[in-house]
Amino acid sequence: MEPGNNTRISEFLLLVLSEEEELQPLIFGLFLSMYLITVFGNLLIILVISSDSHLHTPMYFFLSNLSFVDICFTSTTIPKMLWDIQNKSKGITYGGCISQIYFYILFAGLDDILLSVMAYDRYVAICHPLHYTVIMSPRLCGLLVLISWVLNALISLLHSLMVLRLSFYPLVQIPHFFCELSQVVQLASSDIFLKNIVMYFAAVLVGGGPFAGILYSYSKIVSCICKITSAQGKYKAFSTCVSHLSVVFLFYFTALGVFLSSGTTYTSHSSTVASVMYTVVTPMLNPFIYSLRNRDIKEGLKRLYWMPSIKDQLY
């Protein structure tokens, strides 16, 4: 293949999850089901929080934002993959690939920072309960979410602009089912040294910073819980963190798998599984984790079901 610049390339080719024709309907049905469960589950969380005045607190404000981001995050990759399976297509336009990279980084970064903000919220609630409403004011909560959006939008834009400056061969196949940043960069025909430095620095900044914040918040939370004398008080304090901790472990475990498997140019079964877990399974499980492990959400679901306007629509 002759080297070419990025003005000549019109589309990239994406990898399909399986080349076997008889498995395509099964894969399509499986991912369509997971996508619909993800969208419905997270929309239900948003609806419960917005309709129940008991849940109009900072913790659930951040949770509703996390649910919205999860819907957008999954919608960045899965609808395109389902379209390709249905139409037996493997191509994605150059502009479509850049857009997918931008929104994938944007919503993944938002997930990361929101989890860190939610950890800080738990820290204030447990360690400074008397000053909680003063510290976690509506203004601060809105400001934290706004900063998260602006910061991640700028980082995503930086990555996208740097990809636009890369040159590619006329025919490029991305060894993934979506345009993953590191895979696209590795396939460039031009020098990628600077881009690799920026990419890994941003990964450490956006991934390591919030993770360090989560570790710090929970170190303080554990210290405060240990000072509580009664076993019942310790259990009550810790129980408010269980749902968030479960989501944090699931998110970072799968994110670590994606990060470790993204350094190779050629895909493997393990990297595909890690990406599926990160982009589909984690956002799908989040509503279940918060609804099954959180008493306030379960009570909110009951109140939502028994609302007259909802019952009239159901029956």
pLDDT (tens digit, 0 to 9) for every residue of the chain, 315 residues total? 444 444 457 778 887 776 677 788 888 899 999 999 999 999 999 998 988 888 889 999 999 999 999 999 999 999 998 998 888 888 888 889 999 999 999 999 999 999 999 999 999 999 998 999 999 999 999 999 999 999 999 999 988 988 888 888 777 777 778 888 888 888 787 777 777 787 778 778 877 889 999 999 999 999 998 888 888 888 888 888 888 888 888 888 887 777 676 555 444 556 667 777 778 888 998 888 887 767 778 777 777 766 655 445 544
Residues 38, 35: Cα–Cα separation, whole Å: 5
Rounded CA-CA distance 93/11 in Å is 4
Domain ranges of the chain: 11-302
Q: What is the pTM of this model?
A: 0.86
Contact 179, 101 (CB under 8 A): yes
CATH 2.40.50.140 fits 11-302, yes or no: no
CA distance 90 to 87: 9
- Residue 20, helix vs strand vs coil: coil
| pLDDT value, residue 228 | 83
Give CA–CA dist 104/76, Å, rounded.
Answer: 6
Contacts of residue 23, defined as CB under 8 A and 6 or more positions apart, other chains included, come to none
